[in-house]
Each structure stands twice: as C-alpha cells, then as structure tokens.
Amino acid sequence: MTYAKQSEVKAGTVLVADGGFTCLLAGDERVVQANSVGELFVVCGGDGQGKHFLSGQLEGADAYVGFSLKTAGHENPMQGGICGCDECKSLRAAAHDAR
C-alpha cells in the first residue's frame, strides 16, 4: 500500500483504511474533515461518533500510515465532485451552511 502523503490530504480528501485499526475495517472509506483549529480527522468507530486524528498516523514528515488515497469510484465533494453517498451529502450541506 502506498500511504497518503500529508501534502496530498486536506479536508474533503477521501482516504481508504488498510485494516490496521481497531476503529476502522480494511477498505473503509472516509472523507477527511477538519475541526475548528484545522486538525484533520476521519470519523471512526461502530457508532460513527469517534474521531481518528491523522496527526497520530504521520510517519516521518509526510506519510499517513494506514491510509491510502481513494483514486477511483468516488468523486471528492470538496473538490467539485458530485458523489451521492450520505457522508458526502452531509459534508456538502455543512460546507453550504458555513457560508
């Protein structure tokens, strides 16, 4: 697996988990979100209420261990895509409301 690079990831990026997590299954796709101070995280846990902060996954200066970039089959809603999944719809609504 080629890990996602910090320089490639921002709020709205879709990441795929590799299965080395207790809160995410192999192949789980998550849209990266940012909290009010700009820390990046993905939603995790069985109830969808957990936050897995990406800073804890950094290896060296630029690789998020355990996550790869989603490269096909899911349009990135924060970069002009039109994905219809519930997570992306929610993110688009939140971005619209923040304006």
The predicted-structure confidence for 59-95, as pLDDT tens digits, reads as follows 776 889 999 998 755 454 444 445 566 666 676 666 5
Q: State yes or no: pLDDT of 99 exceeds 80.
A: no
Q: Does residue 8 lie within any of the structural domains?
A: yes
Q: How many domains, the chain?
A: 1
Q: Does residue 96 lie within any of the structural domains?
A: no
Q: What is the pLDDT of residues 36-48, one digit of tens each?
A: 999 999 998 777 7
pTM value is: 0.69
Q: What angle do CA 73, 19, 81 make, to 5 degrees?
A: 20
Q: Does residue 63 lie within any of the structural domains?
A: yes
Q: What is the pLDDT of residue 19?
A: 83
Q: Does residue 87 lie within any of the structural domains?
A: no
Beta strand pairing call for 29-31 and 14-17: antiparallel
Distance CA 2, CA 5 (A): 9
Checking phi first, is residue 66 left (phi over 0); if not, alpha (psi -120 to 50) or beta?
A: left
Structural domain containing residue 13: 4-73
Q: Does residue 85 lie within any of the structural domains?
A: no
